[in-house]
Structure 1
Amino acid sequence: MNEAIVCETHQETEHSHPRAARPRAQSEALVTRALHVVPSTAVYVDEVRSLARAGRERAAVSVACIHLELARAWQMLIRLKAAEALLTAQRIEGQLGPSPVPGAVALRCEIAAVRAAALLLQDDAGAALAAALAALRLGTATPTAHVALTVCRCVYWRLGDLESFYAVERRELREPDQQPGRLRAVTTMFDLALDAAIEFGQMHFNAARLLADGALDVARRFGAGPAAIDALPACVMAQVLYEEGRVDESEALVAARLPGIRQGGTIEGAVRGYGLLARIAANRRQPGQALLLLAEADTLGMKRNWPRLRAASLAQQVEMHVAAERVDQAALCAQRLAVLAGQCGAASSSARFEIARYHALAQTRLALAQAHSDASAQALAKPSVQAFPQAPIQVSNAVDLAALRQLHCDTDLRRDGYGAVTIALLLVEALLVAGLRDDAVEALVALLRQAVSVGLQQTLVDCSERVAKLIEGIVQGAIVPAGDVRDLLPYASALMSRRRRGSAGMQPGHDTARDFARSVAALGLSERERAIIGLMGRGLTNKQIAIRLSIAPETVKSHAKHLYTKLSVRNRIEAVTLASRLGLVRLSGCGHAGD
C-alpha cells in the first residue's frame, strides 16, 4: 500500500472535518500498537482493570482502523479498482455495525461516497447517484463531499439533465501554496473533463479544448493517479484535434493512454478512445486495424461488464462492414447488438438510451446497405436509373424515418449536438434512398449551416458516398436547393477538397514526412526539444542526454517539463509514445529509462 496516499487522505479529511480529526489523532498510537505490537500480560491486566478507559480506547482503535480501511478504499479508487473498493466498503460497513461510534454518521457518508465512485466506475449510474446523494446527507462540508458532488455531476451529464448538472455545487482547488490531496486533484480533473465533454457535445470546440487542457494540466501537476485516469480529457482533446483535421496528433494523444485504458481505465475514456482510434484507422483506409481495435473494445466490454462499450463497438463494426460492402458481416454484428439491447433492461436509464441509440444507428446503416444492394441490382437490370432516384426504393419497412427523426430530436434535447450530427447524416441518406431528394437536400443544407457556424469539419469529410455526392452536386450546381446557399458553397467545396486529398493521401507516394513535419510545427517544439525527445526515444537517461548535448542535467529536466506541457503528457513514457506516433522518434525498446 502506498502509505503516502493514506496519510494524504487522512490529512485532507482532518482539515475538512475537525470533528472527525480528534478520534484519529487520539488513537494514532493505539492503531500502531493494535496492528504491530503484542502487549505484555501485565499491561493487558492493567488495561482490563480500567474498563471505562479501555472501552474508550477500543472505540478509538476501531474508528482509527475504519479510517485506515477507508484510506485504502480511496487508494483503490484512485487506481480505478472499483470492485476492490466496493468489497472494502462492504467490509467497513460490517466493522461499523449498528453500534454507535464517534462520528458514525460521517463515516457512513464517507463509505457511501466510496460506493458512489466505485459504482460510477462500473457504469451503474443509477446506483451511483443514490449512493452519492446518501453521502451528501451531512451537507457539502463533509470531508469527501467533493467526490459525491463529482459523481452527481457525471450522472446528470450521462442522463442529459444539464440543468441539474449545472445546479450541483463546484469545488475549486485550494490556493497554489496549499498542495491539495491526490483525491481532491482527481475530482477536480474529472470536473474539468466533464465540462470539456459537455462543451464538445455542444460543439463549442474552443471551450472544450481549454477545459480539457486544464484537466490534463491538473493531472500533470498533481500526479493524479495512473496513466489511464486522465483518458477522458485526453480523448476530448483528441476529438477536437480530429475535427480540425490534425489526425496524427489526435491519434498520438489517445494511443499513449490506450495501454492504461486496457489495464484499468474508465468507460468514458474507453468508449471515446477506441471509437476515435478506429475512426482514424478507417480514415486512413485501414479497415483491418479499425476492426481489430473494435473487437478489442468488445472484449474489454465483456470483461468489465460494460454493455455500453460493447454496444458502441458493435455499432461501429456495423459501420465499418457497411462501408466495405460486407453486408453479411454487418448483419451479424447488428444481430449481436440487438441481443445486447434486449438484455439491457437492468442497465441505468442513461446506458439504456445510449445502447438503444447505437442499436437504432446500426439497424439504419444495415437497412441502407441492403437498400444499396437492391438499388445496384435494379441498376444492372435498368441502366437508366439516376444517381439520386426520384422513385423510392422499397426500404420504407426497414428504415423508420419518423423514429430516426425522433432519435435526432431526443439526442438534440440532451444537448448532444455532436451526436445529433451523426444521426442527421444518416437521416439525409435515408431520405435520399427513400426517394425524398428534396427533403434530403433541405436536411443537408440545414446541417451544413449548423456545421459551418461551429467549425465542424472532419465528421462531414468522413460522410458516406451518397451524402458526399449530394454535397458535390450542390457545389457544382447540379442540385439547386430551395433557398439561397451561395454563402455555404466555399465551406462545402472545402469539405469535398479535403475529402479528395484524404483519398489521394492513401495512395502510394503520399508524403507522410511532410505531414509529420506539420504536426511537429503545430506542437511548437523547438530544435532542442526535438533532439531531447529523440534521445529519450533511444532510451537515454537525463544524464546521458546532458552529456550527449553538452548541457547540464538540470537543463535537460527543464526542457523535458516544457515537452510534457506541449505534448499534454505527464511523464517520459507518455511523451516517447506520443512522439513515436508522430514520427519524431524511433523506439529502441529502452524507452522506459528513468530520469
Structure 2
Amino acid sequence: MNEAFVCETDQEAGHLHPRVAPSRAQSEGVVEAVVEAVVMRALHVVPPGSVSVDEVQALARVGRGRPAVSVARIYPDLARAWQMLVRLKAAEALLSAQRIEGQIGRLPGTVAVAVRCEIAAVRAAALMLQDDAGAALAAALSALRLGAAMPTAHVALTVCRCVYWRLGDLESFYAVERRAPDEQPGRLRAITTMFDLALDAAIEFGQMHFNAARLLADDALDVARRFGAGPAAIDALPACVMAQVLYEEGRVDESEALVAARLPAIRQGGAIEGAVRGYGLLARIAANRRQPAQALLLLAEADALGMKRNWPRLRAASLAQQVEMHVAADRIDQAALCAQRLTVLAGQCGAASSSARFEIARYHVLAQARLALAQAHSQASAQAFPQTPIHVSAAVDLAALRQLHCDTVLRCDRYGAVTIALLLVEALLVAGLRDQAVETLVALLKQAASAGLHQTLVECSERVAKLIDGIVRGSIEPAGDVRELLPYAGALMSRRRRGTAHAPAGCDSPRDIARSVAAMGLSERERAIIGLMGRGLTNKQIAIRLCIAPETVKSHAKHLYTKLSVRNRIEAVTLASRLGLVRLSGGARAAD
C-alpha cells in the first residue's frame, strides 16, 4: 500500500494532522475537503493558520491533487480582489475577479460555488464604485442566490441597499436583510457596517430629518475611526452628509473642515457619492464667501475627475453648478456654453443606469431652466418697460419643472426637491404667475421651517428673496394664515442681510476662525499642538517644546483627530491650514 501522507481537518481543534491514506478514492475526498477548507479561509470562514497554501501545494504531489494547485493560485487573487476593494480600486478588483473566473472550472463543485459567490460579491461592490448601479444590483443578487449564508454576503446586501437608495425605492431598501455587526468585526465587515449607517444617514438627510442624519453619520464616522476601515476617502459619504447638515445649520466652517480633509483622498481614489457631495458643497461654500474663482476651480476639477473616472453623474453635477454660478455673476455666454456641454453629456448617457440617467436629466432640466431665466432677466432689463412680465413659459418648461419636483419627492428626496421648488417659484414669477409662485413658496417655507432648513433658503435668488421679504413685511398677503411662518422667514432674511453686509471676500476674520475652533471644542493645548504639527515638528520635538511627555502629545493628538473627524496628522494639518489655524512649512510631515 502506498504510504503517502495526506491531511485531514480535525473538526474540533481546527488543525491539520498527518495520517496514512488507506485508498486512492478516500485520498480524493480528503483533497477536496482540504481544498474547500483553503477556499473557505480565503472567504474568511476558517481561522488563519488552520491550513496553509504551502500545505495545499504539497497535495499536488499526491494522486489527484490538481484542484489544490488551482486553489493555490486562486487564494492570492481572491485576497487581492478584496484588498483592491478596500482601497476603492474598482478596476483592479474586477481584473482579479476575472482572473479567478477563468480557473473555477478546475475546482470541485462545492468549492466552485463558493468562489462564484465570492466573485459576484466582489463584482457587485466594484461596479457600485464605478457607478453602474444596474449591473451592481444584478451581481449582488447573484451572490445572494449562490450563497446567502456566506460570510461576505453582507457586502452584497450593502450593495443592494445602496442601489435601492439611488433608485429612491425605500420600500425595497428597508426590505433588505440587516445583519447585526460583530463585536470585533474585520476590516471588510467594519466597512459595510459604516456604509450601512452612512446610507441610513443619507436617506434621513434627503427626507430633511437633520437630527437623525447627524446621529447616523456620526455613528458611521465612529465605526471608521475605531476599526480603521480603510483609506480616508472611504468614509467620505458619512463625512459629507454630516457636513451638509452642518452647512444647512449655518455652521459653514465646520462643514468645510470635514470635507476639505478628505478631498485629497477623494481625488486619488474615492467613491462617486463622496465626490458629488464633497465638490458640490465646497463650491457652494466658496461662492457663499464670494470666492467665485475658487468655486469654479473646484467645479472644473470635479468635471475633470468625472472624465477620468468615467462618472457622467459627477460631470453633470459640476456643469449644472457652473451654470448656476455663471448665471449668478451675469455671465450668460459662459453659462450657455456649460449648459450646452451638459446637453451633449445627457444625450450620451443612454447606456447609464436608470438612477444615473434620472440624476443627469435632473441636472440638465435645472441648468436649462436657470439659463432661460437669466436670458429672460436680460431681456427684461433691455425693455423700455421693465415692469412688464416676460412670459417665458415656452422657454422655461414649467411642466418639466413641476414633473421633476414631483418625481424627486416620490424618490424620497425632499432636500433635492427644495432646489427645484425655489427655481419653480422664480420661473412662475418671471412668467407672471405671481399667485402660483406665492402658493408654491409658502408650501416650501412650511416644510423648511418644520425641518430646520436654513442655508439653502438664505442663498435663494434675489427674486425669491424679495418675495419672502414681502411676506414678512406684509406687502404680500398669501392665501391662508401664515403668521406662524413669519418668525422663521424673518430670521432667514435677517441672516441673508448679515451675509450681504459681511466683510469683503477672501478668508474669514480671526473672530470667525476662533469661533470655528471653539465650536470644534479644541483646547488651548490642542491648538498649540496642531500649530507645531503644521511647522513640521515630530511628537518628540513637540514634547520638548511644550515640556510634556511624548505619550501626552500622542494622547492630545488622538483627541485632536477625533474632534476634527480626521484619521492622521496629514489630514489634521491640512484641515487646520484650511481654517487658518496653522501655516504649513516645507518640513511638515506625518511623523508620529
- With structure 1 as the length reference, what TM-score do the two structures score? 0.90
1:446 is aligned to: 443
2:400 maps to amino acid:
A
Closer, same or farther in 2 for the Cα pair 1:86/1:509, shift >3 Å? closer
Note if 1:529 corresponds to 2:526. yes
Question: C-alpha distance in 2, partners of 1:253/1:98?
Answer: 49
Q: For residues 273-304 of structure 1, what are the alpha-carbon distances to aligned partners after superposition, in whole Å with 9 as ceiling and x for unaligned?
A: 11011111111111111111111111111111
Question: C-alpha distance in 1, partners of 2:289/2:336?
Answer: 24
- Aligned equivalent of 1:479, options 456, 461, 476: 476
Give the 3-state SS of the residue equivalent to 2:145 in structure 1: coil
Closer, same or farther in 2 for the Cα pair 1:264/1:494, shift >3 Å? same
**Do 2:191 and 2:229's aligned partners in 1 also have CA atoms closer than 8 Å?**
yes
- Aligned equivalent of 1:183, options 180, 184, 188: 188
Closer, same or farther in 2 for the Cα pair 1:17/1:318, shift >3 Å? closer
Question: C-alpha distance in 1, partners of 2:356/2:106?
Answer: 35
Note if 1:119 corresponds to 2:127. yes
Note if 1:554 corresponds to 2:561. no
1:76 is aligned to: 84
2:63 is aligned to: 54
2:486 is aligned to: 489
2:28 is aligned to: none
1:456 is aligned to: 453
Question: C-alpha distance in 2, partners of 1:491/1:12?
Answer: 61
Question: C-alpha distance in 2, partners of 1:12/1:285?
Answer: 57
- Aligned equivalent of 1:29, options 54, 72, 85: 54
2:54 maps to amino acid:
A
2:591 is aligned to: 594
Question: C-alpha distance in 1, partners of 2:206/2:348?
Answer: 27
Question: C-alpha distance in 2, partners of 1:306/1:33?
Answer: 46
Question: C-alpha distance in 1, partners of 2:199/2:38?
Answer: 27
1:466 is aligned to: 463
Question: C-alpha distance in 2, partners of 1:237/1:372?
Answer: 36
Note if 1:572 corresponds to 2:575. no
Question: C-alpha distance in 2, partners of 1:395/1:508?
Answer: 34
**Do 1:252 and 1:577's aligned partners in 2 also have CA atoms closer than 8 Å?**
no
**Do 1:171 and 1:188's aligned partners in 2 also have CA atoms closer than 8 Å?**
no
Note if 1:513 corresponds to 2:505. no
Q: Give the superposition deviation at 1:31.
A: 5.4
Question: C-alpha distance in 2, partners of 1:460/1:126?
Answer: 35
Q: Give the superposition deviation at 1:17.
A: 6.9
**Do 1:79 and 1:225's aligned partners in 2 also have CA atoms closer than 8 Å?**
yes
Q: For residues 115-149 of structure 1, what are the alpha-carbon distances to aligned partners after superposition, in whole Å with 9 as ceiling and x for unaligned?
A: 11111111000000000000111443202101101
Q: Map 1:30-429; keep pairs closer than 5 Å.
A: 30=55, 47=61, 53-55=62-64, 57-97=65-105, 100-175=108-183, 178=184, 180-378=185-383, 381-382=384-385, 385-386=386-387, 392-429=389-426
Closer, same or farther in 2 for the Cα pair 1:509/1:535, shift >3 Å? closer
**Do 1:23 and 1:102's aligned partners in 2 also have CA atoms closer than 8 Å?**
no
**Do 2:213 and 2:241's aligned partners in 1 also have CA atoms closer than 8 Å?**
yes
Question: C-alpha distance in 2, partners of 1:13/1:199?
Answer: 38
Give the 3-state SS of the residue equivalent to 1:141 in structure 2: coil
Closer, same or farther in 2 for the Cα pair 1:190/1:234, shift >3 Å? same
Closer, same or farther in 2 for the Cα pair 1:559/1:17, shift >3 Å? closer
**Do 1:285 and 1:506's aligned partners in 2 also have CA atoms closer than 8 Å?**
no
Note if 1:540 corresponds to 2:537. yes
Question: C-alpha distance in 2, partners of 1:332/1:219?
Answer: 41
Q: Give the superposition deviation at 1:30.
A: 3.3
**Percent sequence identity over matched residues?**
83
1:206 maps to amino acid:
N
Q: Name structure 1 gaps, 5 residues minimum.
A: 1-9, 35-43, 48-52
Q: Give the superposition deviation at 1:349.
A: 0.4
Aligned pair count reads 556
Question: C-alpha distance in 2, partners of 1:207/1:159?
Answer: 21
1:40 is aligned to: none
Q: For residues 470-519 of structure 1, what are the alpha-carbon distances to aligned partners after superposition, in whole Å with 9 as ceiling and x for unaligned?
A: 11111122211122222211111111111111122242799711111111
**Do 2:291 and 2:505's aligned partners in 1 also have CA atoms closer than 8 Å?**
no
1:135 maps to amino acid:
A
1:50 is aligned to: none
Q: Give the superposition deviation at 1:60.
A: 2.1
Question: C-alpha distance in 2, partners of 1:491/1:259?
Answer: 38
Q: For residues 376-433 of structure 1, what are the alpha-carbon distances to aligned partners after superposition, in whole Å with 9 as ceiling and x for unaligned?
A: 112xx12xx44xx6xx413121112122111101000110010000000001001100
Give the 3-state SS of the residue equivalent to 1:136 in structure 2: helix
1:582 is aligned to: 579
**Do 1:208 and 1:240's aligned partners in 2 also have CA atoms closer than 8 Å?**
yes
**Do 1:541 and 1:594's aligned partners in 2 also have CA atoms closer than 8 Å?**
yes
Q: Name structure 2 gaps, 5 residues minimum.
A: 1-36
Question: C-alpha distance in 1, partners of 2:106/2:361?
Answer: 43
Q: Give the superposition deviation at 1:61.
A: 3.1
**Do 1:529 and 1:560's aligned partners in 2 also have CA atoms closer than 8 Å?**
yes
Closer, same or farther in 2 for the Cα pair 1:127/1:369, shift >3 Å? same
**Do 2:39 and 2:111's aligned partners in 1 also have CA atoms closer than 8 Å?**
no
2:119 maps to amino acid:
I
Question: C-alpha distance in 2, partners of 1:350/1:108?
Answer: 27
Question: C-alpha distance in 2, partners of 1:108/1:398?
Answer: 53
2:66 maps to amino acid:
R
Q: For residues 84-108 of structure 1, what are the alpha-carbon distances to aligned partners after superposition, in whole Å with 9 as ceiling and x for unaligned?
A: 1111111100011366355110110
2:423 maps to amino acid:
L
Question: C-alpha distance in 2, partners of 1:440/1:457?
Answer: 20
Q: Give the superposition deviation at 1:375.
A: 1.1
1:200 maps to amino acid:
F
**Do 2:43 and 2:118's aligned partners in 1 also have CA atoms closer than 8 Å?**
no
Q: Give the superposition deviation at 1:24.
A: 9.2
Closer, same or farther in 2 for the Cα pair 1:510/1:152, shift >3 Å? closer
Closer, same or farther in 2 for the Cα pair 1:61/1:558, shift >3 Å? same
Question: C-alpha distance in 1, partners of 2:437/2:40?
Answer: 59
Question: C-alpha distance in 1, partners of 2:251/2:519?
Answer: 9
